[in-house]
Structure 1
Amino acid sequence: MSLRLSTVILPVRRWQQGGREQWVRAEELGFHTAYTYDHLSWRTFRDGPWFGAVPTLTAAAAATSRLRLGTLVTSPNFRHPVTLAKELISLDDISDGRITLGIGAGGTGFDATALGGEPWTPRERADRFAEFVPLLDRLLTEDAVTEHGAHYSADEARNIPGCVQRPRLPFAVAATGPRGMRLAARHGQAWVTTGDPKVFESGTPEESRAAIGGQIERLGEACAAVGRDSAELDRILLTGFTPDWAHRLESVDAFVDFAGRHRELGITEIAVHAPIPDTDFAADQKTFERIATEAPAQLG
């Protein structure tokens, strides 16, 4: 099974002060996709520069020509399907069909309260996600949509001419619970995991891989329930949140070992954060670039 190698570029650099160069370099290094987070702010980066995902990806689309681009991930925390669809159709057009939408239910971080409301409970997030994804699917595939839901509505929302990619740009659905898995099975072209958060805190590498293997099995069950072959979905691992990740960017061999073990589980794409000095994503830039250029050949 082939394994794609992608990267995640956090939007922390001004475009004219190293931001543009990161995206151009990602294309030069041969990454399959370069993603960015879609947050208003995030964790320890809250008190520093943090730019918007859609404008950043628009600029990246203009600066590159082959590299796929995407969010990892967008959530309903501060998005509405109608306005998001319009932005995505525009972005897909500007990039000439190189956009993937990573999408998840969101969490309880800064995004959850930035608009002045109370954070949603896990059930509320799941309920909203269950409405958000199908409506967004319709908005990206139909010229005009009217729908009235409990959380999201559209009234003759027009989205002409639609996406360059047909029938629409691909969804990479981040999910581990049963409701999210069903959304991935019905609407996803890919599925995203960061592993098991509980195992990340106190588990072993073996337990982490077992947990991811279990998630992939449940994805297969969700696909079977809707009459879909799970092999149709790419399976993306966003790295940095599993107990076996420590030191994996210290050498090409260490990364290849990590990636190979996850490929055996059924992972088809691994996304690695571009190094940011003095953060949890610190790594040697030269080694990171060697991994980008040498690891794919070793992984086959």
Structure 2
Amino acid sequence: MDVAFDLNLLRVLVALDAARNVTRAAQELDMSQSGFSTALARLRRQVGDPLYVRTSRGMEATPRAAAMVETARAVLAQVQADILEQPVFEPGTARAEFRLAMADVAEIVFLPRLLAHLQTAAPGVTLRSESWARGSLREAMESGKVDLALGYFPDLSSGPFYQQRLLTHTYAAMLRRGHPALRRRLTLATYLELGHAVVASPSRSNELFEQFLEREGVERRIVLRTPHHLSLPVIVEGSDLVASVPLATAARYADAGMVSVARLPFDPPFFPVQQYWHRRSHRDPALRWLQAQVARLFNDERDDWMVMERRLYGRLRPEKP
């Protein structure tokens, strides 16, 4: 048998078995009768058997054809299901894990709302969230170790990556409740006099803020450097230190009664909060479904921090890109 077997010949076999007539089988496959006969002759040569012979009752299968036809139907059905049909994602019954990349500060923004939604819309779906350094994140997304990156990742804005803007965000000061500096508007002089707690982590939003301060010539008196945003509220709550953090972080811990939020004594930078994915998974139905859920849950219309931002800074927000 020729190793380079043409799977189209299985369609010829199945059609002829169903029709038991060359003319009708050719019509079923939208082939000319001569073309069908040529294909049937090829199949007969490859398997070394006549397969179907003319009798008074029409074309009858040989024992070899009878043994082959069910396997042929199964092979064609599997090719159709696994290769030719577009895959679908059924969130209500799916069992899947999505691997997300985000800094710990982004987890505060995304995970509570996203998890609550998934528990209803896709109860069999689980999430894995990790923080990745700049270079390793690109490699992780290229290799499929990360499905979706959520937050601010300017290093993913070019190359084989897609991105979708969700909302725009900024920064605020976080101090303990009852801090003397809160008795009046926080001035730049007071801001510089205070001791500062600073997060030194792979978060790109931290880098953006540090670069902004450097450009503006603002030099803080840093008392503490910590790798985690999640430790800041406890540190700030129990000290007179101030922390400059993304507004959502400050708002989250203010809602918990741990800290107070104050306006920074300058117009802070803004940054886009986006979702990013690699082109290798651009058409994956499961990931496309997740992207749609994220976009529906996090957007300008559902920006929970807009009211606080405007209370602190007025209408500083840049125009939408």
The interval holding the TM-score normalised by the smaller chain is under 0.3
Q: Normalization by structure 1: what TM-score?
A: 0.23
| Structure-2-length-normalised TM-score | 0.22
Q: Which has the larger radius of gyration?
A: 2
